[in-house]
Structures are given as structure tokens and as C-alpha cells.
């Protein structure tokens, strides 16, 4: 659907004409607003509890305690090194759900090239980007603004481009170099994700290839989700992306040098500034389901700033669309042996999460089994 902004979102004191232009991206709106000091009311979370108000008070400046995983040790032939990194991974997943992956072997030049190619996509004329405006969450290529303009009550200060890179590779045809760069990059990143998932499998006490086989990762879904957050005149009132967890198994994220990602850890928002040339990895809802809650997906959000454009590229890696995900029987509670989550096809979960309001961990809560009648 075309993202025609509601009239409330038009800038009140802007030099816009009486019939407001059809703005389809926050990039276009930010350009319209240039030189102004306030945002349109349709972007203000000021009156919405728990979004920008009280939680902003507890932002911690430090990110040094976010764990680091040395990827090269995951493929080490030295059993001691391997067992140490599996323990590190178990601790990172249990304590944080987030970790930085270093020494992963993906060339830095490739990481920079994909960020620049996505930036070039966002800089295309609005009409050209609209060719790639998907209608359905499972459309292989989709760009737009906010999260889901048909359900977002307040709009997010964010444009996005999403495309499926696996099991079938898709990519916008413009700018011309994007497709070639994304194809090569997707293969390299997928190898990293699968190796980390093998490590996670082992760290849970499962067979190395348990996740791979149980969830048919040969046909696993790999998406590239590029996010653009232009400078915002009132960053304290707006939000790039609200608190949410990711749906897949493992997301690998890269970004330009501008901060904005915050991770919720022990009831505090922690600013994350990834180490250059690393991937920021996080556990998605489907690891929480598979591990029956032993590893939990973690809330994170993107805040905006008034100085520079931030670009991030999140690459969620999930099960195959038709894989049914349920808690591994090996990991169920040893006393009651009950699964905590309902079994569900990945496709259905994706449709649900992506078509509703992005709201914390509400998608996962929907399949949580809480009463004995749930089990019959």
C-alpha cells in the first residue's frame, strides 16, 4: 500500500502547500522539514506511555559488556578452543541474547559496499522506489516507511527495504550494482549464520546439526532488511523502531558509523556501538521456541538523532517457510516435560508478526502455552 501520510502528520509550520504532497518516505519528509525545529504530530510518541518517556531515563552509555564471540574459534580444530567458544556462546545467549561476532572472514570492503548500495537505493527518486512497494509481508521485495503504515498509530522515523535472499535470491534491479553485491554478501553471511547456529545447537546440548536438520536450514529464509533513519529535528519525541524482538533464529546486523541501536538488558536500555568490521548477532524468537525458553529473544529498539543519517542492515536467518517449529523434546522441562510454546509453521508466524503492530514480544506471547487446557 502506498504510504500516504495521514493529514495529522503534515508539518504545521512547514512551507508546504495547502494540498500536502504525497510523501512516501521519511527521507522525503526530512528533506521537506529541513531547517525546521519540530516534527509533525503524527510522528510524536510524546503522549504514548513507555515509548520515549520513562524508559529513556535508564539508558546506559556503556556497551563494553556486550559479549564478543571469536568466530574463527568456532571452526577451530583445537577441541579446547572449540569448547571454550561454545561456553562463551552459551553464556552470551543466556545472559544477553546479543553478542558481537569478530574474525568472521567476511571482507570489510563487502560490508561497506552493501551499506553504500542500500544507501543508493534510498536515494533513488521516490517514483522509482515505489516500483518496489510490496503489498504482502511475504512479497520477496518490499520497501516502505515506518513499520506497517496500515496499523501504526504513530509513524516511525524510518524507511526500509526488505528482500528475500534465500532460499530464492531476489533483489531490486536498481541501483544496478545492488543485486550483484547482495548476492555475494548473502552467501558469505549465510555461512557465518549457519556456523553460529551450529555452535548454538551444541551449546544447548543438542547435536551440532540439530537446528539445521529440524528446521530445514538448507531452505532457510534469509532476509536483508535495510533501515534508513534520516536526521530528525526532535529525536527525543520520535522513534526509529519501537522495542521488539526479531522473529527468526539469528539476526546478523551491520551499520554505518552512527549509533542508535539500544538493547534491553536487566531493565536498562544499553547503547550499542558495534566494533567496526563485526556483526552484531541476536537471538530471535525461534531460538526461544526451539530451546523452550532456555535462550530468550531480547528486546531492542532504534532511536534517532538530529545530526546524521543512520543506516543499518539487519539480516534475519530463519527456518524454512514450511518448517514447523516447536520446543525440542530434549530441552523440555525434566519434571513436567511440557512445551512452553505451541508448534507453528514459520510462514504463519512471519505473517502474524509482520502484519500486526510491532509491539515488544507480542507475537511470541500469542503462542505461549500457559494453562493446562492449552496442552490438550
Answer whether 203's CB lies under 8 Å from 93's CB: yes
Shortest spacing between CB 227 and Fe ion, in angstroms: 9
Q: Which does 302 bind (CB under 5 to 8 A by kind): ligand AKG, Fe ion, none?
A: ligand AKG
Shortest spacing between CB 225 and ligand AKG, in angstroms: 5
Q: Does 225 contact ligand AKG by CB under 6 A?
A: yes
Q: Does 113 contact ligand AKG by CB under 6 A?
A: no
Residue 216 dihedral angles phi and psi, to the nearest 5°: 55, 55
Q: Which is nearer to ligand AKG, 217 or 313 (CB)?
A: 313
Q: Does 104 contact ligand AKG by CB under 6 A?
A: no
Record the cell numbers describing residue 359, joined without a space.
Answer: 509491539
Which residues touch 106 (CB under 8 Å, ≥6 apart)? 185, 188, 189, 192, 279
Shortest spacing between CB 310 and ligand AKG, in angstroms: 7
Answer whether 195's CB lies under 8 Å from 74's CB: yes
Which residues touch 303 (CB under 8 Å, ≥6 apart)? 235, 239, 240, 260, 262
Q: Which is nearer to Fe ion, 74 or 252 (CB)?
A: 252
By CB under 6 A, name the one of 24, 63, 201, 227 that touches ligand AKG.
227
Shortest spacing between CB 280 and ligand AKG, in angstroms: 8
Which of 239, 328, 244 lies closest to 287, judged by CA? 328
How far, CA to CA in Å, does 116 sit from each of 77, 112, 178, 256, 310? 36, 6, 9, 9, 12
Q: Does 247 contact ligand AKG by CB under 6 A?
A: no
Answer whether 299's CB lies under 8 Å from 361's CB: yes
Residue 5 dihedral angles phi and psi, to the nearest 5°: -75, 140
Q: Does 159 contact ligand AKG by CB under 6 A?
A: no
Which residues touch 180 (CB under 8 Å, ≥6 apart)? none
Q: Which does 278 bind (CB under 5 to 8 A by kind): Fe ion, ligand AKG, none?
A: none
Q: Which does 304 bind (CB under 5 to 8 A by kind): ligand AKG, Fe ion, none?
A: none
Shortest spacing between CB 251 and ligand AKG, in angstroms: 6
Q: Which is nearer to Fe ion, 24 or 251 (CB)?
A: 251
Shortest spacing between CB 247 and ligand AKG, in angstroms: 9
Q: Which is nearer to ligand AKG, 171 or 203 (CB)?
A: 171
Q: Which is nearer to ligand AKG, 198 or 301 (CB)?
A: 301
The angle, 0 to 180 degrees and rounded to 10, between the axes of the packed helices 79-95 and 176-203 is 100
By CB under 6 A, name the one of 85, 283, 314, 325 that touches ligand AKG.
314
Q: Does 88 contact Fe ion by CB under 5 A?
A: no
Bridge partners of 161? Answer: 143, 226
Q: Does 246 contact ligand AKG by CB under 6 A?
A: yes
Q: Other CB atoms closer than 10 Å to residue 3's CB: what's the count?
A: 21
Residue 325 dihedral angles phi and psi, to the nearest 5°: -105, 130
By CB under 5 A, name the one of 88, 246, 285, 288 that touches Fe ion.
246
Q: Which stretch binds ligand AKG (CB under 6 A): 173-181, 186-194, 203-211, 253-261?
A: 253-261
Pair type for strands 68-70 and 98-102: parallel
* Calpha distance 367→344 (Å, rounded): 8
Which residues touch 202 (CB under 8 Å, ≥6 apart)? 86, 208
Q: Does 226 contact ligand AKG by CB under 6 A?
A: no
Which positions from 288 to 307 touch ligand AKG by CB under 6 A, shown as an x/- string? Answer: ------------x-x-----
Record the cell numbers describing residue 281, joined without a space.
Answer: 548477532
Q: Which positions touch ligand AKG (CB under 6 A)?
A: 225, 227, 241, 246, 253, 255, 261, 300, 302, 312, 314
Amino acid at each position: 500500500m502506498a504510504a500516504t501520510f495521514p493529514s495529522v502528520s503534515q508539518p504545521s509550520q512547514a512551507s508546504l502547500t495547502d494540498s500536502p504532497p504525497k510523501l512516501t518516505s521519511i527521507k522525503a519528509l526530512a528533506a521537506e522539514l529541513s531547517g525546521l525545529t519540530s516534527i509533525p504530530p503524527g510522528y510524536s510518541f510524546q503522549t504514548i506511555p513507555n515509548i520515549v518517556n520513562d524508559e529513556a531515563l535508564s539508558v546506559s552509555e556503556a556497551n563494553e559488556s556486550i559479549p564478543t564471540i571469536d568466530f574463527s574459534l568456532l571452526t577451530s580444530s583445537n577441541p579446547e578452543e572449540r569448547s571454550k567458544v561454545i561456553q562463551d556462546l552459551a553464556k552470551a545467549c543466556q545472559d544477553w541474547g546479543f553478542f558481537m561476532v569478530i574474525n568472521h572472514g567476511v571482507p570489510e570492503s563487502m560490508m561497506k559496499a552493501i551499506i553504500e548500495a542500500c544507501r543508493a537505493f534510498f536515494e533513488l527518486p521516490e517514483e522509482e522506489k515505489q516500483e518496489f512497494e510490496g503489498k504482502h509481508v511475504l512479497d520477496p521485495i518490499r520497501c516502505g516507511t515506518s513499520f506497517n503504515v496500515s496499523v501504526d498509530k504513530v509513524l516511525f522515523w524510518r524507511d526500509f527495504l526488505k528482500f528475500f535472499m534465500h532460499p530464492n535470491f531476489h533483489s531490486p534491479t536498481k541501483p544496478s550494482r545492488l543485486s550483484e553485491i547482495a548476492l555475494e554478501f548473502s552467501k558469505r553471511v549465510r555461512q557465518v549464520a549457519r556456523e553460529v547456529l551450529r555452535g548454538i545447537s551444541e551449546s544447548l546440548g543438542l547435536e551440532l546439526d540439530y537446528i539445521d536438520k529440524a528446521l530445514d536450514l538448507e531452505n532457510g529464509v534469509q532476509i536483508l532488511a535495510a533501515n534508513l533513519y534520516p536526521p530528525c529535528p526532535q529525536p527525543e519525541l520520535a522513534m526509529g523502531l519501537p522495542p521488539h524482538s526479531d522473529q527468526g533464529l539469528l539476526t546478523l546486523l551491520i551499520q554505518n558509523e552512527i549509533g542508535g541501536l539500544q538493547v534491553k538488558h536487566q531493565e536498562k536500555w544499553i547503547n550499542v556501538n558495534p566494533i567496526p568490521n563485526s556483526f552484531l548477532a541476536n537471538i530471535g524468537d525461534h531460538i526461544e521456541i526451539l530451546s523452550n525458553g532456555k535462550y530468550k529473544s531480547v528486546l531492542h529498539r532504534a532511536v534517532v538523532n538530529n545530526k546524521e543519517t543512520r543506516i543499518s542492515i539487519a539480516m534475519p536467518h530463519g527456518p524454512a517457510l514450511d518448517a514447523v517449529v516447536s520446543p525440542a523434546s530434549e530441552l523440555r522441562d525434566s519434571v513436567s516435560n511440557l512445551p512452553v510454546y505451541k508448534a507453528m509453521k514459520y510462514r504463519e508466524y512471519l505473517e502474524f508478526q509482520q502484519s500486526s503492530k510491532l509491539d515488544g514480544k507480542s507475537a511470541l506471547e500469542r503462542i505461549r502455552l500457559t494453562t493446562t487446557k492449552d496442552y490438550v
